[in-house]
Structures are given as C-alpha cells and as structure tokens.
Amino acid sequence: MTVTEMDEIKQAKALENKLAPTNALRRNGNSVSKATAKQRAARIRELRRQKAPADKNQELPIDEGYSKTFLRVTVAVSVFLFAITLAGVLGINSMFENSRNQVVSNFTVQVLPLPNAQNSREDLLNIVNFLEKYPDVEQVTVLSDAELRALLQPWLGANVDIEMLPIPKLLDVKIRNGRNFDYRELTVRLSEISAQASINDHNLWLSRLLKFINSLKMLAVTILILVAGGCVASIVYAAKTGLNVHRDIISILHTMGATDEYIAINYVKQISQMSAVAGIVGAILSVPAILIIAHMAQGIEAGIFNSATFGMEDWVFILLLPFVSATLVALTAYLTVVKTLRHMV
C-alpha cells in the first residue's frame, strides 16, 4: 500500500468519524472496511465537485397558476397606469413652467387716448420715460400701428384705419426677475403719472391656470393613490391566500426553528423579483402610449400647449417606477406575512 493510499484511507476514516451516525453503523455490525470508507470518501469528493442545479425552489413557494398570474397582471397594469399618470403630471407641469417663464418676463401697459391727440402723445411719452427708469424694467416697446392692426385684424378685418378709432396704445414691457416683480407698487406709482394707464400683468390669468393645473395634479394623485391602493390590496390578498394554502409548510419551517422574519423574507424575495419583472413590462408598455399622447399634444396649435416638454429626468422617473412598485410590493408583502404569521402557531 502506498503512502498516498494510506493517507486517503485516513482521510476517509476521519470523514466517517465526523458523522456521529456513522459510529452507529459500525456498531451495527456493518463495519466500514477500508475499501468502503475509501469508496465513500471518493463519492463524497465527487459529489462536492458537482454543481448544484440552478433552478432552486423556494421554501415557501408562490403557486404557479391563477394567483401568480393575477399578481403579475395587477403589478404590470398598476405600473402602466402609474407611468401614464406620472407622464401626464410631469407634462402639464412642464407646460405650466414653460408658459410662466415666458409670461412673467414681460407685461403690457394699456394707455387710453385723451380727447386731444397732442396730450395723448405727451401722456404716452411720460409713461414710457417713467417705465424706462423704473427698477428691473429692461425694455419698453410701444406697439406700432401696424402691430396693433395685426392684433385687431381677426375682429375688425384688414381694411380698417385704426387712426379713426379710439384704440388704446399698448406698451410691451420686458422685466428682469419677473417672479418677484411688485405689480401693486407699479400700479400705484403709474396712476400718479397718468390716469389713462393700466397694467395687464397676466397674473390673474396665470393664477387661474395654476388652479386648473393643481386640480389636475390632485386628480392624478387621487388616481395614483387608488391604483396603489388596488395594488396593495391585491398583494395583501395574494399573501394571505398563499400563507393559508401553505400552512403545512409554514408549520414545518417553524418547527425547524424559522422565525417569522425568515419566512417573510423568503416570501418577499420571490414576490419582489416577480413584481419587478411585471413592473418592467408595465413600464415598457407605457412608453409607446406616452409617445403617442405627446405626439397628439404637439399637434394642438394652441400657444402654450406647444411648450410642454418631456425631458430626460422625466423618463428616468418613469423607468424607476418598476423598482418603486417592487419596493411597495415587498414592504406590503413583508408586513402582511409577518402579521399573518403572528396568528399562526
């Protein structure tokens, strides 16, 4: 017998001795011969070298079939609706911001004519001089007759001589720091210069638009809460049903010493992976839908509606939704499972 062979037998014997039950075998008359020990050691070495199958089942399974499909569809549809709603909110928000940026950087002053043309001109000059020296005013432009005519053309037609009409003069005033501009003070100071002048600062119009947009946002948030609520309810239902179906498995796991947290994490791992995949499908399906809606919105020839933009960071928000939903699902499932298990032995 070679030294190597003797070493192998020694190793095999040591391995046998590691296992308490093996001693029982020996005492049972099934004494382990050197050859058997060697064979077993070789077999164990071979088994250790073998790769375990990749498709490992989970201890607490989520059943294939109706329940799993229902969950997948619920999560995918929820993420789809989330994405569409979020895209809508982000689009409307950008539209409002773009419009506000355009509008708040200028305002219009309307100057009513006086009975005497000379006085009207002097009045207009005073107002222009006053405005040009006013803080934060960048530029004051008096709209020409041609420009006024173009503005009035839709109502009065092309062949009207506006000199014959008591049309007010319009001043386009560009300002810096439009958001903090104090229109009240300007109105008071301007009234001291001329009783004929009045300011149209778009704020009223903007505040109405803002109210409308806020209402839309509230509606969107309500939809999101309802969708999230539906999704959460589905997860709670699926988790409770799954736990009831697998009472026996849970009982075995508890007997082996598993804590409620161990069982919950085992379940949550599966459901999170599943909902992340379903969420990605929902998000991918939402992309063409968002692009179609965006394309249709661009087709609206209505001034401010053209200014809605959908940037890179907005797409990032949309594409993060599957992971947000997976987190929501995981949290819901974990809490449901732990709570349900507390009522089990």
Partner 1 sequence: MDTEQFEPIVEMKNVALAYGDNPEVLKNINFSFRRGSIHFLTGKSGAGKTSLLSMLYLAQKPTDGTLKVFGNNVALTDRDTLAFLRRRIGVVFQDFRLLEHLSVFDNVALPLRIRGMKEKEIRQRVIELLAWVELSHNMYVKSSEISGGEKQRVAIARAVINRPELLLADEPTGNVDSEIALKLMKLFAELNRLGTTVVIATHSNELMRRYNYPRLVLADGNLSYLKDTSVG
Per CB under 8 A, residues contacting partner 1 are 15, 18-25, 27-28, 40, 43-44, 47-48, 52-53, 56-57, 59, 61, 248-249, 251-260, 262, 342, 345
Rounded Cα–Cα distance for residues 242 and 83 (Å)? 29
CB of 56 to partner 1, least distance (A): 7
Nearer to partner 1, 23 or 141 (CB): 23
Nearer to partner 1, 66 or 155 (CB): 66
Rounded Cα–Cα distance for residues 153 and 162 (Å)? 10
CB of 288 to partner 1, least distance (A): 39
Nearer to partner 1, 62 or 140 (CB): 62
Rounded Cα–Cα distance for residues 9 and 270 (Å)? 45
Q: Strands of the chain (E only): list them.
A: 106-111, 137-142, 169-175, 197-200
Half-sphere exposure of 257 (CA within 13 A, CB side): 0
Rounded Cα–Cα distance for residues 263 and 252 (Å)? 11
CB of 20 to partner 1, least distance (A): 5
Q: Token pair of 343, please?
A: 């009522």
Nearer to partner 1, 24 or 226 (CB): 24
Nearer to partner 1, 2 or 57 (CB): 57
CB of 79 to partner 1, least distance (A): 29
CB of 244 to partner 1, least distance (A): 17
Give me the residue label for tokens 């179906």.
Answer: 245
Q: Token pair of 108, please?
A: 């219009």
